[in-house]
Structure 1
C-alpha cells in the first residue's frame, strides 16, 4: 500500500505540473478518488487510514498547502456521509465512488459560479488592486472582461516569490490592462484604486483569510482609504481554524515543507540580551541545561524575539473584508462560521 500511495503522490506532482491552471486542491481530490477506486482495503476504517496517509504526503508535496488540506478534509467527510447506510463493503465502496464523482463535479464548477457572483461587484471602468497570483481572481476578471467591461489592474510584485509578474502576464494574455507595481507603492496608489480583490489560500472560522504574505497590509491600507476589499475563494478552502492574530497561525500553515530535512522550516529566532548580544534559542537552551527551568521559560517570554525568516502567509482580519465572494454566494465575514457548520455536518 505504501508503494501505491507513493505512485499516487508522484501522479499528483505530475498532474500539478501539467495543469498549472488547475488548483492543487482539485488535483488532490481527483487523486484521492483514484486511490479510493484502486485501493484493496476491505474496511471503511482502512480506507480512511490510506486516504489520510495519502493526504499527508500530498500536503508535503503541494505548493498551496492550505487548500489541499481543507479540500481533502471536506472530500473525506462528503463521501463518507453514506457509509453507515449499508453493511456490505462492496456496495459501500460503490456509493463512495458515486459521491466522489459528485464532489469532483461540484468543485470543478466553483470558479464559474464565483465569476458570475462577482460580476456585479466589479463596475465598468474599475481600477482594481491585486496581490500575488490567484486563479479564481483571474477567472473572475476574465469573465468580467468578456462582458465588455473596461478594467485596469495594479498588481504587486509580491516579493520575494515574484508571483505578481505571473499574474500580470496572465492578465496581459487575456488582454486586460494591467501594471506591475512595487509592493511599497501601496499607499501611493490606493487613492487611485476603486476596489481591492484578493484570493485566499484558506478562509478561517472568524471570516478572515490566510493568504500570501502582504495581504493583511493591503486590506488594512484599503480600509483606511475607504476602499472595499473583496475576497474570492472557493468553498473547499473553508477551514476549521481560528487564529486570533498573526502569532496564532499554526506553524504547519506558515512554513513550507523542507524536503531535505523532512520537516517544516520554521523561522530562526534570536533573543536580544542587553540590546547587543544575540543568542539563538537552541544555543541558550542546549549549552546550559540548568537554563531549562520554568523560570527560564517565563524569562524567555519577556525578551524581544526577532524572526529571521518570514512565513508564506499572513492572517487578514474579517474587519478589513467587505465581502467574501464564493460559489455558495456572496457572504459577509460573519456568515462564514454558519457555512462551515453546514459544510462539516
Structure 2
C-alpha cells in the first residue's frame, strides 16, 4: 500500500485526512472517501474474500462516523456498502477487489450527476443579468455558474475564514471569465444590496429543511431576508438527514487557527459550521427540481 505500513496504518491515515479536511465541500469529501475505499480494496492485505470484506466494511463504517456534520459522507458510503453486498459470490478475490473499486466510482459519479442536475434545475429559475452572492465554496454553485455563464452579471464571493475556501471559488470563476467581487464575510451587509439573489450549497439538510453549512451561511441568509432578495439552497437529496435541529452538535476546530495569542480570561471559539433555519430559505433545489416546500427524502 502506497505510503502505508500495513492495513491499520492505511485506515488511520485516511480517517485522519477525512477528519481534518475542511477545505473540500461535502460531496468532494465523500468522493475522496470513496476513492480511499477503492484504493484500499485494491491494495489491502487480505488472504481471501471474507478478509477483504471485513477490511473494507471496517474502513467504510469508520469513515461514515468520522464527520457527523456531513450527511453526504454517511449517505454515499452507505450506498457503497449496500451495493457491495449485492455482488456475486462467484467472483474471485481479484475480481472482488476490482468490483469494489468500480462500485466506489459508480457512486461517486452518480453524486456528481445529481449535483449538476440540481444546479441546472436552479439555473432555470434565475433571470438573465442577475448578480449572485454566495458563501464558502460549493461545487453546486460552480455548476450553477457554468450553466448560467454570461447570463450572470457578476458573482459576489465571501472569503470564508478561517480556511479561505472562497479563494478556490474565485480562482475557478476567474478561469471561466466570470466577473467576481471578492469580500470578507464581515462585508456581507455592505454588498447584499447589490445582489439579486443569494445561493449556497449545504453540508446537510435536516428534517425540517434547515441546513448545516459553513459558518457565515446563516448571516448571509439573514442579510438576504433583510434586503428582500431570495436565498436558495442548491443541494442534492442525498444530503438529507432525518434529524431535527435540536439533535445537531456542530463541529468545532482548534482555536489556534484563528491566530489569537494566549490571553488571560479569553476563550477563542472556532465552530466551522452553523445552522440556518428553514424559515430563511426561499426554495430548495435538488436533482428532482426546485421547491418552496421542503420534503425530506432521507427515509
Q: How high is the TM-score relative to the length of structure 1?
A: 0.66
Deviations 1:176-229 (A, max 9, x none): 111112323223322322110101122222222111101012112212332111
Change (3 A) 1:8 1:153: same
For residues 61 and 153 of structure 2, the distance between their equivalents in structure 1, rounded to whole angstroms, comes to: 39
User: What is the alpha-carbon distance in structure 2 between the residues aligned to residue 140 and residue 189 of structure 1?
Assistant: 21
In structure 1, the partner of 2:142 is 138
CA apart distance, 1:149? 1.1
Q: Is the 8 A contact 1:9 1:58 kept in 2?
A: no
Partner residue of 2:277?
A: 317
Aligned to 2:289: 329
- Per the TM alignment, residue 309 of structure 1 is displaced from its structure 2 partner at its CA by 0.9
Q: Which residue in the other structure is 2:31 paired with? A: 26
Asked if the contact 1:112/1:139 (under 8 Å) is kept, the reply is yes
Q: Deviations over 1:41-99 (max 9, x none)?
A: 6449x836643435536976x8x95543343233323443x37xx7x474898597465
Distance 1:201 1:325, change over 3 A: same
**Change in 2 beyond 3 A, CA 1:150/1:218:** closer
Count residues with an aligned counterpart. 278
3-state DSSP class of the match of 2:298? helix
- Write the deviation string for residues 123-163 of structure 1: whole angstroms up to 9, x where unpaired: 21101111122222112112210xx4132111122233322
> 1:8 Cα shift?
6.1
SS in 2 for 1:254: coil
More displaced, 184-193 or 123-132?
184-193
Q: Name which one, 1 or 2, has greater alpha-carbon Rg.
A: 1
Q: 1:91/1:138 Cα in 2 relative to 1: closer, same or farther (>3 Å)?
A: same
After alignment, is 67-76 or 49-58 more displaced? 49-58
In 1: Cα distance, 2:106 partner to 2:167 partner: 36
Q: What is the RMSD of the two structures over their aligned residues, measured on CA atoms?
A: 4.0
**Unaligned residue ranges in structure 1 (runs of 5+):** 259-264, 266-276, 279-305
Task: For 1:1-345, list aligned pairs within 5 A.
Answer: 3-4=6-7, 6-7=9-10, 23-36=28-41, 40=46, 42-43=49-50, 47=53, 50-54=56-60, 56=62, 67-80=72-85, 82=86, 88=89, 90=91, 97=100, 100-145=104-149, 148-244=150-246, 248-250=247-249, 253-256=250-253, 308-332=268-292, 334-336=294-296, 339-341=297-299
Please list every run of 5 or more consecutive structure 2 residues that lacks an aligned counterpart in the other structure: 258-263
**Structure 2 residue matching 1:121: 3-state secondary structure:** coil
Alpha-carbon contact 1:5-1:54 (below 8 Å) kept: no
- Contact (CA 8 Å) 1:206, 1:333: kept in 2 or not? no
Distance 2:186 2:278 in 1: 23
Give yes or no for contact 1:205–1:241 (8 Å, CA) kept in 2: yes
Determine if contact 1:43/1:89 at 8 Å carries over to the other structure: no
In structure 2, how many angstroms separate the alpha carbons of the residues matched to 1:189 and 1:36? 49
